[in-house]
Copies of this chain bind each other. A is one copy, B any other.
Amino acid sequence: MTGSELKWRIAGGSGDGIDSTSQNFAKALMRAGLDVFTHRHYPSRIRGGHTYVEVRAQPDDVRSRGDGFDFLLSLGDSFARNPDDEAYYGEEELKPLYEHFDDLNEGGVIVYDSGLIDDEAVEEINLYERAEENNWHVYPVDLRGLAREHGREVMRNTAGVGVSAALLGVDTSYFEELMQEVMGGDIAEANIETLNAAYEQAAEFDHTHDLEVPKGDHDSEQALVTGSDGIAYAALDSGCRFISGYPMTPWTDVFTIMSQNLPHFGGIAEQVEDEIAAASLAIGASHTGVKAMSGSSGGGFALMSEPLGLAEMTETPVVLIEAMRAGPSTGMPTKPEQADLEHVLYTSQGDSCRVVFAPGNPQEAYEQTRKAFEYAYDYHIPAIVLYDQKLGGEMRSVPAEFFDREPDSDPGAVLTEDELSEAAHDAAGKFKRYSHDGEDGVVPRSVPGQEGGRFLATGNESQEVGHISEDPDNRKHQMDRRMEKLTSIREDLNAGDDSNQAFHGPADADYGILVWGSQQDTVFEAVDRLNARGSSVKALGVSDMMPYPESEVTAFLESVEECLVVEMNATAQFRGLTQKELGRFGPKMTSLLKYDGEPFEPSEIVEGFEATVEETDLPGGNMELRPAAGD
């Protein structure tokens, strides 16, 4: 246990204020100069039910939640006992304590609310026995009592923060500042009082542990953001001023951020009757000249399948967001998974013609969402940002200046009325919006209300002004023109100097790891550890799902002897995509899969790598190794 990092966890019932408390805790450490990262775990349930958030802090570059954790603040589940006689939850109240035993590192610290959890209960779960075995340091504190005395009962969490601060050596001024900013007034006062009382009480304890908060210093001011923030903010900066949606976890976060901010940004947010309508409205608004988006998760995105195809065929720009959670069907709605890749790539009848990006962290989420808007509007194509519950919900500190960007009001490939008057029309004066000779597949469009721009948009195959056509030659032209966009977008992406693919590790390493989306940075952390221990490994985090980055991945795969492909699903979808796109390398690739609702920890990647390359056994857990194809 060193001072180089801290992994603090707060656990309680849904409704016990775990989210806000952990957010403040993370922000305080960030303001204190540390890089922070949070991991949220919650059940699909509104009140009660065990939930926790972990905050990891390091002087710099924190890339994942890490392995295990060091400090548990257990509030118990105060909603576990339901007053209604129809429900009684056995020992659920203790879950926020005993469910954490498996992950708590040796030498770790436990603080629990002895106001809620009595000695008998503690005995039942053998707390002290376990503590002795693992060299844990246990501090029972009557957080409820403290809260009642100095504030209100719900401020148990604040009392817990005070105790944590005392035991870890964090300056409480950061918390006080935050409470004043976030709550204000009497509530802030009461919280601050509780905080300090708890701090003082714990400062008196006999400290048996040697855990403390590391010291850090930032070059510039930091902002604490999630992947959802990255996506929503990129949309706003892209000039998106219309969103239509329907709530669904975890997509709701992006939808909510947009809905709350669009009115102030002069835009419109619509919550509608279902996701078919949601996608259709976005298409309608975009067709009418506005930059628009929609999105969903799981079954909600499935309902967008038909409108998505309509956007492809009518060449209506639209950005859709898909936030993955564990499937199939309702699955595990609050757990991450990466199993919607193929669904998002291929759903809707006919050949797919869409852009799909899968960012790996909040910054990539911002960058790639901006690109999604650019390509959607420049190429008249649906662009999808695919991420998951992990990336969407975890918070990270990012230099605030990262967001110092210019907004983009450009509506893309649209003609002005002047340009329209010069453009090609048919004999009846209809604009050839689907002219056969687009550049890079694109024909700049007109917008309803423009003089000289009228045309028909249709989901049927159509000729140049949009009238339905079943002529085989026209069909071939139009299909080829539409598909050409993907080739052109691939060329654009390759030409830019900011590839969406992220490379990590020594360029000449012998072994490779391919990864995508939210698992990327965890793999990067594992790569560092592996190289530190003498392995020769590098990783490529792929974000371009369609059009696929053939040359980059080919070069990577050619340069390694063997490659592990890490993803959170059961059928190795990204490996499959890679094999499909490249038609070879199957024998070089082994999949490391996990689909139990828990993301990989860096140590698991290390173990998976060892099992593959060094042919050790996979040490238990819920991972799955899928051997190389063609073996």
Contact across chains for B483 and A326 when beta carbons are under 8 A apart:
no
Known: A584-B584, A595-B351. A328 touches B346 (CB 8 A): no
Q: In this assembly, does A266 line the interface, its C-beta being within 8 Å of a C-beta of chain B?
A: no
Tell me, rounded to whole Å, the shortest Cβ–Cβ distance linking A306 to chain B. 4
Q: In this assembly, does A44 line the interface, its C-beta being within 8 Å of a C-beta of chain B?
A: yes
Contact across chains for A330 and B460 when beta carbons are under 8 A apart:
yes
Contact across chains for A343 and B349 when beta carbons are under 8 A apart:
yes
Contact across chains for A580 and B582 when beta carbons are under 8 A apart:
no
Contact with B along A298-334 (1 / 0, CB 8 A): 1101110110011011100000000010111111111
Contact across chains for A479 and B351 when beta carbons are under 8 A apart:
no
Q: Which candidate, A7-15, A220-228, A392-400, A622-630, is the interface stretch facing chain B?
A: A622-630
- Tell which of B309, B324, B331, B339 touches A302, judged by Cβ atoms closer than 8 Å: B309
- Tell which of B299, B313, B335, B585 touches A328, judged by Cβ atoms closer than 8 Å: B313
- Tell which of B303, B348, B583 touches A629, judged by Cβ atoms closer than 8 Å: B583
Q: Write the chain B residue with the least CB distance to A324.
A: B349
Contact with B along A472-493 (1 / 0, CB 8 A): 1101100110010000000000
Tell me, rounded to whole Å, the shortest Cβ–Cβ distance linking A483 to chain B. 6
A483 contact set on B, CB distance < 8 A: 570-571
CA distance A621 to B582 in the complex (A): 28
Tell me, rounded to whole Å, the shortest Cβ–Cβ distance linking A141 to chain B. 30
Contact across chains for B630 and A583 when beta carbons are under 8 A apart:
yes
Tell me, rounded to whole Å, the shortest Cβ–Cβ distance linking A203 to chain B. 38
A176 contact set on B, CB distance < 8 A: none
A200 contact set on B, CB distance < 8 A: none
Interface size range of chain A in the complex: 35 or more
Q: In this assembly, does A587 line the interface, its C-beta being within 8 Å of a C-beta of chain B?
A: yes
A630 contact set on B, CB distance < 8 A: 554, 582-584
- Tell which of B334, B473, B479 touches A595, judged by Cβ atoms closer than 8 Å: B479
Tell me, rounded to whole Å, the shortest Cβ–Cβ distance linking A111 to chain B. 26
Contact across chains for A342 and B335 when beta carbons are under 8 A apart:
no
Question: Counting chain B CB atoms within 10 Å of each CB, which of A298, A299, A330 scores highest?
Answer: A330
User: What are the nearest 10 A-B pairs in CB distance?
Assistant: A583-B586, A327-B350, A583-B629, A328-B350, A329-B459, A472-B596, A342-B346, A313-B329, A580-B580, A330-B459
Interface residues of A (CB under 8 A from B): 43-44, 276, 297-299, 301-303, 305-306, 309-310, 312-314, 324, 326-335, 337, 339-340, 342-343, 345-353, 458-461, 468, 470, 472-473, 475-476, 479-480, 483, 554, 569-571, 573, 576-577, 579-587, 589, 595-598, 622, 628-630
Known: A331-B461, A345-B346. 7 other contacts (CB 8 A): A313-B328, A333-B460, A342-B352, A343-B348, A472-B598, A554-B630, A584-B587
